Amino acid sequence: MSIVIKNKYTLLYKDFSFKCCVGLNGFTKIKKEGDKKTPRGLFGIGDLYYRRDKNIKPQTKLNCNEIKKYMGWCNDIKCKKYYNKLVNIRNKVRQEKLYRKDYKYDFFIPVKYNWHEPKIPNGSAIFIHLTKNYKPTAGCIGLSKKDFLILIKLVNRKTKIKIF
């Protein structure tokens, strides 16, 4: 079974329909770093990352990783070695910090877009993460915390996400 992003505002999974938000500039087949577009295609999903200092470990069949203060996700188009990978923020590379002051990454799941042997500059750090206001993202998919916690109870490591 796949998670389906039906349009800019709707995420479907089995009998559930969730309100969501996507990239400011819509969808694309030809993603580029910083274009604020959500990539189209069929992708796997990664592990669940969560902030243990703000939340209890949620119920899910996904592998769970606690977000630490030193964690980042490399979006540096000059760094082939770490591009679109989890990194230590002490590395001298451009990155998305995962331990944030706001709520957006209190829970998130990486979408396995540009994942194996990532190509620069085809985009990085595409996540399913939290939103409160459904404002467009930089390319990720945003869900309310309540809906996110329902979704992670339903999915497993073999679940795919179809964005079209």
Give the pLDDT of residue 2.
Answer: 97
Residue 130, pLDDT score: 98
Instruction: List the pLDDT tens digit at each of the 164 positions of the chain.
Output: 899 999 999 999 999 999 999 999 999 999 999 999 999 999 999 999 999 999 999 999 999 999 999 999 999 999 999 999 999 998 889 999 999 999 999 999 999 999 999 999 999 999 999 999 999 999 999 999 999 999 999 999 999 999 99
Per domain, the residue ranges of the chain are 2-163
CA distance 17 to 34: 29
Q: What is the pLDDT of residue 72?
A: 98
Q: Which CATH superfamily is domain 2-163 in?
A: L,D-transpeptidase catalytic domain-like (2.40.440.10)
Give the model's pLDDT for residue 91. Answer: 86
Q: In the 3-class helix/strand/coil scheme, how is the chain assigned residue by residue?
A: CEEEEEECCEEEECCEEEECECECCCEECCCCCCCCCEECEEEEECCEEECCCCCCCCCCCCCEEECCCCEEEECCCCCCCCCCCEEECCCCCCEEECCCCCCCCCEEEEECCCCCCCCCCCCCCCEEEECCCCCCECCCEEECHHHHHHHHHHCCCCCEEEEC
Residue 79, token pair as written in the block: 């760094």
As a whole number of angstroms, the distance between CA 106 and CA 132 comes to 12
Q: 133 CB contacts (<8 Å, ≥6 apart)?
A: none
